[in-house]
Amino acid sequence: MDWVAVRERVLHLAVTGEQGRLIQTVESLHLPLIGVYEQVFEPVFAMIEDAWFANRLSLSHEQAVFRLLERVASSIVPWNKDTKPWHLLGSAVADEGHDIGIRMATNLFEEAGWDVLYLGADAPADFVLSALEIKPMHTLALGISLDDHLPAAMAVLTACRAQHPAIVRIVGGKAAARHAERFRAIGVDLVAPPLSGLVERVERLVSTRPFPVPQPPAHEPPPRLPSEAA
């Protein structure tokens, strides 16, 4: 396959806002989801950033292109009827507008049958931490691309460990890669991991953690109708 030509076409369709043709192009590749993300989307992201740095795209246009690609990345996730008993919470940290990387990661978990609660971009710390209480979470995945948002990410991950020590914590994005040692120093399980093999790595970690075993709901007989009680 001519990957250069494929990426150029995807970039062109994204920049010109042709969502329908973009989805058709991606689906015509007949690739697994991880293949689309690694072979097409990630290289195209770099091309978009290069275009912005070279002033060939305005900031607003760049953001619109990323939003379009995020919608496409989520629209092609295949439905998995074989659900797994694990829950993941994903978001970008407060003030972080770029969340497409963490969104693709959570999409891979959805494809694998996980139950995913995705908060999106710019999620305040208290919002993320309160969401951990909605249901028993097994994994927290955060995205951070800018160094300015490092304190926010560190605060959320530290609080998560204190409140829910068994939860597997992941942080991804360019800022995570640049400051990997700082995140490892606070016990983050996976720092800037590649998408390939991510779900399998997390499932191995989750299987070793002391999570409570889910109990089936107690069986209660259905209420009797008034006519039956007579």
Could you report the per-residue pLDDT of 15-56, keeping only the tens digit for each? 999 999 999 999 999 999 999 999 999 999 999 999 998 999
- Fold of the CATH domain 3-75: 1.10.1240
Q: Break the chain down into helix, strand, coil percent, rounded to 5.
A: 55, 10, 35
Give dist(CA 213, CA 85) in Å, integer. 10
Residue 80's pLDDT is: 83
* Residue 118, CA atoms < 13 Å, CB-side half-sphere: 19
Annotated domain spans of the chain:
3-75, 87-207
Residue matched to tokens 């920049």 = 15
pTM comes to 0.86
Write the burial class of residue 81 (CB in 10 Å: 0-12 exposed, 13-18 middle, 19+ buried). Answer: exposed
Cβ neighbours around 190 below 10 Å, total: 20
CATH superfamily of 87-207: Cobalamin-binding domain (3.40.50.280)
Beta-strand relationship, 87-93 and 139-143 = parallel
The model's pLDDT over 142-191, given as tens digits with 9 standing for 90+, comes to 999 999 999 999 999 999 999 999 999 999 999 999 999 999 999 999 99
